[in-house]
Amino acid sequence: MASPRAWRWSPDWRSPALGLRRGQAARPARTRSSRSSSAPSSGGSEEVVSASSGAPLVRVLDLRKSYVLGDVTVHALRGVTLAIESGAFVSVVGASGSGKSTFMNILGLLDRPTAGGYYLEGEDVSGFDKDRRAVLRNRKIGFVFQNFNLLPRTTALENVELPLLYNGRSTSAAQRHQKAQALLNTVGLTARAHHTPSQLSGGQQQRVAIARSLVAEPEILLADEPTGNLDSRTSIEIMEILQRLNREKGITVVLITHEHDIAEYGTRTIVFRDGRVIHDEPVARRRDAAAELAALPPPENEA
Ligand SMILES: Nc1ncnc2c1ncn2[C@@H]1O[C@H](COP(=O)(O)OP(=O)(O)OP(=O)(O)O)[C@@H](O)[C@H]1O
Ligand SMILES: [Mg+2]
């Protein structure tokens, strides 16, 4: 991919209050499932309301994360406050070390903040222990990573089925198989179900990883540099899948990327610097991956 370009910001940008973009009223969360969530477990903030009364899918308040390494404390997040509505497609950008992955790890319940609040569908999850985080994570969050993270000697189908073994719901082998195959169809890999990762291209492996991230029907898809190892065309193909899932299935997407071009496939861009949000604004002209792919010549091996 092209090297990251300098960011340009519209002159009228202002710091948004609690993550709401300027002029945007808080709208009720579009919950895709009927799963209810409880009210916040701590008094926390008057901003926090229950999911049923329209809490955003995600709200973080003065989120902080520090790592202590011997005598040195690294302040990876220094007070992040924002909200993400259900159905959003948010791009998170910023220089290396600015705290993007740290933020994503907390959103994804892989890690806990040092201080601050994290409300998921209105429920305060910032104090959840490892086990409670794992249960919630397996039910609500799907992950896609730069390095695909597939099991190497396992077929695409089995890789996709795997999360269903851990999400605490009883799904029969036949149901798992059917669901995984349907998702492989969705990402255009119908004919590759029995291939192992080494028999697949990088783009195909990432598509398997996306199918795997969706199999437990998450509310949010967190993608950390999903196109970081892919060429330009393949990157657009991956973005076409993410845009389609967001538009058609209403899945909330949080995309971390170094690349200005890739961020423009989202509807809103949040920029981190030194553990803080320095910009948060709508994407002025959103890119449409499907339209771009249609305009490209066919790939050489299909021509
Ligand atoms: N487990 C850890 N232990 C100690 N320091 C950490 C740890 N994880 C991250 N950091 C530090 O926290 C800061 C933020 O790291 P983070 O990985 O969130 O950055 P990033 O924006 O994702 O960067 P990149 O674009 O390179 O992936 C960095 O200074 C990093 O060195
Ligand atoms: Mg990172």
Q: What is the spatial distance between Cα 164 and Cα 160, in angstroms, rounded to a whole number? A: 8
> The domain that contains 269 carries what CATH number?
3.40.50.300
Over residues 181-217, the pLDDT tens digits come to 999 999 999 999 999 999 999 999 999 999 999 999 9
- Least distant ligand from the CA of 75: 1
- Contact (Cβ atoms closer than 8 angstroms) between residue 140 and residue 120: yes
Q: Is 191 in the pocket of ligand 1 (CB under 6 A)?
A: no
Q: Is 147 in the pocket of ligand 1 (CB under 6 A)?
A: no
| Cβ(228) – ligand 1 distance below 6 Å | no
Instruction: Tell me if 5 is assigned to some domain.
Output: no
Is it the case that residue 22 has pLDDT exceeding 60? no
What pTM did the predictor assign?
A: 0.83
Q: Is the pLDDT of residue 223 over 70?
A: yes
The pair of three-digit structure tokens given for residue 88, joined into one six-digit string: 């959003």
Determine the structural domain holding residue 264 and report its residue range.
86-112+137-302
Give the residue whose CA is nearest to atom 8 of ligand 1. 102
pLDDT, residue 55, reads 87
Residue 3 lies in a domain: no
Which ligand 1 atom minimizes the distance to the CA of 69?
4
CA of 96 to the centre of ligand 2 (A): 7
The values of phi and psi at residue 143, to 5°, are -120, 145
> Average pLDDT, stretch 129-154?
94
Identify whether 146 is part of a domain: yes
Model confidence at 133, in pLDDT bands (50, 70, 90)?
very high
Measured from the CB, is residue 146 less than 6 Å from ligand 1? Answer: no
In a domain, 80, yes or no: no
pLDDT at 302: 56
Is 107 domain-assigned? yes
CA distance 88 to 20: 12
Higher pLDDT, 23 or 254: 254
In the chain, the number of structural domains is 1
Ligand nearest to the CA of 74: 1
Residue 293, domain member (yes or no): yes
pLDDT tens digits for range 154-185: 999 999 999 998 776 788 999 999 999 999 99
pLDDT reading at 38 higher than 50 = no
Choosing from 96, 111, 227, 254 the residue with most ligand 1 atoms within 8 A of its CB, the one to mutate for a pocket test is: 96
Q: With a cut of 60, say whether residue 7 has pLDDT above it.
A: no
Percent of the chain with pLDDT over 70: 81
Indicate whether 143 belongs to any domain. yes
74 lines ligand 1 (CB under 6 A): yes
In a domain, 181, yes or no: yes
